[in-house]
Amino acid sequence: MLQKPAKGLMIVVSGPAGSGKGTVLADLRRDKAFAYSVSATTRAPRPGEVDGEHYYFLTREEFEKKIARGEMLEYTEYCGNLYGTPKKEAERVIESGKHLLLEIEVQGAKNIKRAFPHAVTVMLLPPSFAVQEQRLRDRGTESEERILGRLERTKEELQDLSDYDYIVLNPDGGIADATAQIRAIVKAAESAAERFPDLAKHYFEN
Amino acid sequence: MLQKPAKGLMIVVSGPAGSGKGTVLADLRRDKAFAYSVSATTRAPRPGEVDGEHYYFLTREEFEKKIARGEMLEYTEYCGNLYGTPKKEAERVIESGKHLLLEIEVQGAKNIKRAFPHAVTVMLLPPSFAVQEQRLRDRGTESEERILGRLERTKEELQDLSDYDYIVLNPDGGIADATAQIRAIVKAAESAAERFPDLAKHYFEN
């Protein structure tokens, strides 16, 4: 008897500033088919934060050892602290049958695709650079320097998207469509042929 | 400016007798996102059948020449007549922006995947061989010999499904789910990254 695969999927969503990624991911995360992984960080816990619940709080030495041992799925440095997804944590989510939804930039997505070729990678994009720039300016929350920095970063990142399986456009007013598109991508990936190893064996067994 | 790709997709659906393929395809074909291609055949036109509308009626010599010239996307022989999809016809549908939905058996799907690596191939399956056999018997329309022939054929066909991108299960009562699953697969494929060549160029142009 053939059955739906019990494992969840690894879904990576990337998108430059102004792509609407935050809104789209917040919407997807409301869906109980997805689960969070608990990230690891070297930053100090804030009052009320519980180790293993909000984060795994590690010393820099511990974190770097995990990197060296290949125990981090991906990691990044931000404001002098390391943040990352422990491989074990990602595997725990996937074994539970829920999909792991990761928000990761281009280099991290490339690393994940190398380690997990079946990870599904999605790049969410505004329809054009001009629209992206307009959105960043319309926010009115960032300095000109920061906006230009983000736009420069986008120029670099979009040069090589060969590790992405899907490109999802998010034109103005397109959040609902973009979210539906990512849901379809996830639904399709649930029946990817590679998720049915030993298909003939199970089919001919009763 | 990035835009949705103008071309349609080539969607190949296979499934053994008893998979529910006929019902699923009939449902999908009601959707205006899909278009028919006009098949070619060597059989004689029946009263009222119009060349180029119901079929392209060819002599066996003409048909075989087309095969030899690589002008047939796929073809099969049935009751002494050849039936097939002319490549030009398939291209016409795809250029129109509609998706070409092809119902093809395993060997034909393999040939299409070789010629068009971006074709999306779906194998629709009953949940098990036992369920398949039960469905064929429950139909009550075929001789025992024919039922056994179909089951034997399934045994051969399921040995190598490596040319299929997706496996869709159709358990009893599952037609609506199976159809929705194929719709999700098509929707996902609409945003496949390979459909956005020159992405950066279009993105940075206004």
- Could you say which architecture CATH assigns to the domain A38-96? 2-Layer Sandwich (3.30)
Question: Going edge to edge, which strands form the sheet with A120-125?
Answer: A34-35, A99-103, A10-14, A120-125, A166-169
**Separation CA B153–CA B149 (nearest Å):** 6
What type of residue sits at position B199? L
Q: How far is CA A127 from CA B20, B60, B75, B97, in A?
A: 40, 50, 41, 20
Confidence of residue A7 (pLDDT cuts 50, 70, 90): very high
H-assigned helices in B104-160: 106-115, 129-139, 144-157
Let me know if B27 is exposed, middle or buried by CB neighbors in 10 A (0-12, 13-18, 19+): middle
Cβ-defined contact of B2 to A184 (cutoff 8 Å): no
Q: Give CATH 3.40.50.300 domain extents, chain A.
A: 1-33+98-206
Chain A interface disruption, residue of B121, B167, B206, most A CBs within 10 A: B167
Query: What confidence score (pLDDT) does residue A170 get?
Result: 96
**Residue B45 distance to chain A (closest CA, Å):** 40
Query: What confidence score (pLDDT) does residue A87 get?
Result: 92
Q: What is the pLDDT along chain B (206 residues), one digit of tens a residue?
A: 999 999 999 999 999 999 999 899 999 989 999 987 888 999 999 999 999 988 999 999 999 999 999 999 999 887 789 999 999 999 999 999 999 999 888 888 988 898 889 999 999 999 999 999 999 999 888 899 999 999 999 999 998 899 999 999 999 999 999 999 999 999 999 999 999 999 999 999 87
**Residue B123 distance to chain A (closest CA, Å):** 9
**Would you call B59 an interface residue with chain A, using a CB distance cutoff of 8 Å?**
no
Chain A interface disruption, residue of B132, B187, B191, most A CBs within 10 A: B191
Q: From B71, B41, B68, select the one nearest B57 (Cα to Cα).
A: B41
CATH for the A1-33+98-206 domain, from 1.10.1200.10, 3.30.70.120, 3.40.50.300, 3.60.20.30:
3.40.50.300
- Could you say which architecture CATH assigns to the domain B7-33+98-192? 3-Layer(aba) Sandwich (3.40)
CATH class of the domain defined by B37-97: alpha beta
At A132, list the tokens: 């992206």
Q: Give CATH 3.30.63.10 domain extents, chain A.
A: 38-96
Backbone angles phi, psi at A128, to 5 degrees: -160, 165
B-chain residues within 8 Å CB-CB of A191? Answer: 166-169, 181, 185
Q: Give CATH 3.30.63.10 domain extents, chain B.
A: 37-97
Cβ-defined contact of B1 to A127 (cutoff 8 Å): yes
Chain A interface disruption, residue of B157, B203, B205, most A CBs within 10 A: B203
Cβ-defined contact of B192 to A3 (cutoff 8 Å): no
- Which residue in chain B is spatially nearest to A200 when comparing CA positions? B158
